Amino acid sequence: MGVKVSASLMCMDLLHIASEVKILEHHVDEFHIDIIDWHYCKNMALAPCFMESIRTISSIPMEAHLYVDNIDMDLIDLCCESGANIITMPPEIIERQLFHIQRELAKRQVQFGVSLNPSMNMDVIVPYGHLIDRLLILSVDPGFAGQPFIETTYDRIQRAVQLREENHWHYQIEVDGCCNEKYYQKLHQAGADVFIVGGSGLFSKSEDTEKAVQICLDWIKKETLCTNG
């Protein structure tokens, strides 16, 4: 399909975690784990112990997306030990230790990612763009599902592509928030490499998760093939 698909586990049926995971792992490329502390934004979600449990039943790559006000190496180590393959963090929270965190993740063979809120200037990554493995561009304000898509996301993705090409950087660009069939084609055209699908793009499509994920993937295939054509 030309893009990776990452399922946001915060949005799945948490009463049936094991069965949901076993279905999803056969269809998606990654699991996206939102860790939210009620301080960075007014919501609470998953935790490293959740990832640790998922790792006992699945080997699929997992991204820990930290919406956390106080990020330190204790939390990062816990995420690594719990099975995270990628850890994505707000740069404004880690800016005083960003280079140190990236070096420590590299030692642990865990990818380093940053997440940019919709109001942030894309050029904030210029001093450290060469270090980023994953650039997460939020298409809604952080915190809650169900928000309207912010149309300037397309321009922000295009700027991320431009910066990557001009500087020969290597990061993948992923989009998070209201990622569904209304937007797949334009997101792909803009240059997104990874779609994070949650409530609107995946789990709302059917009460049967097997059917829901197939509907989701069919839409992505259709829209990205249209783009390539």
Q: Which two tokens stand for residue 199?
A: 């409530």
Tokens 């050029």 -> residue:
123
Q: What is the DSSP string of 111-178?
A: EEEEEE-TTS-GGGGGGGGGG-SEEEEESS-TT-TTPPPPTTHHHHHHHHHHHHHHHT---EEEEESS
Neighbours of 74 (CB within 10 A): 9
176 is a catalytic site residue: yes
Which residue in 72, 74, 141, 176 is the catalytic one? 176
Catalytic site residue from 13, 34, 74, 77: 34
**Letter for the amino acid at 185?**
Q
CA–CA dist 14, 58 (Å, integer): 16
Annotated catalytic residues are 34, 176
